[in-house]
Amino acid sequence: MRLLLLSNSLREGSGYLEWALPHLVEFFASTGVRKALFVPYAGATLGPDDYVARVAPVFAQFGVAVEGVHATDDPVAAVLRAESVVVGGGSTWKLLRDVRAARLLRPLRLRALQGMPYAGWSAGSNLACPTIMTTNDMPICDPCGFDALGLVPFQINPHYLHGHPPGFKGETREERIREFGTLHPRVWVAGLRECTGLRLEGDRLSLFGDGGACRVFRHEREPVEIAPGGDVQLLMDAV
């Protein structure tokens, strides 16, 4: 498989996907594709056409044309013939609901397993996991089940923030992930800090970015901090 899973799209003081641009350029250059089928379903307050209009200029910078899957006559057929698929962030709940309603879960998984390049950020990274249970956003709709694509055997928590922000006294992100681990003790969780990402080539996983270390969790183990460039292959261990 060829996966590029980003934590986020925005960085303070930078343009949309600007921090990720070198990684996107290298990933798509290595695949040789020139067209990407974009899945805009995570947009809740942003309409699908507007979402495509936001993403397309970024990809045009490195010669990849973007088409929205919602605008195709047959979304399933579009996925089955796609050169690559890109899944944007937003509401993970709405994304999974709409992907499921369009009957795209199986085709997306099939094509990715066949080696079709898949890139996503935030909710799009969550969708690549076995379930969406480690997303951060509110359940604004019923996705009719939590099972996602299962392209990787571990869970991702995008936008991972360690400790308490000033003035906040609720549960930390780590405490929430530990709750997940208590109920799912054999599943690894990767806490991806802002401006970091994971890339899978075949069965080799790597961590990149300049947003700090990835914090890795598993039940009854001390969390591990792994810096970009460090060995994250343990996440690929079977659950």
Which two three-digit tokens encode residue 202? Answer: 């075949």
Query: Among this protein's residues, is 237 annotated catalytic?
Result: no
CA pair distance 152, 1, nearest whole angstrom: 10
**First-to-final CA distance of the chain:** 19
Query: Among this protein's residues, is 219 annotated catalytic?
Result: no
CA pair distance 102, 70, nearest whole angstrom: 9
CA pair distance 218, 3, nearest whole angstrom: 23
Query: Among this protein's residues, is 137 annotated catalytic?
Result: yes
Catalytic residue among 7, 84, 137, 184: 137
Catalytic residue among 7, 84, 122, 125: 122
Catalytic residue among 159, 162, 206, 219: 159
CA-based angle 82:233:16, to the nearest 5?
Answer: 50
- CA 200 to chain CA centroid, nearest Å: 12
The set of catalytic residues is 122, 137, 159
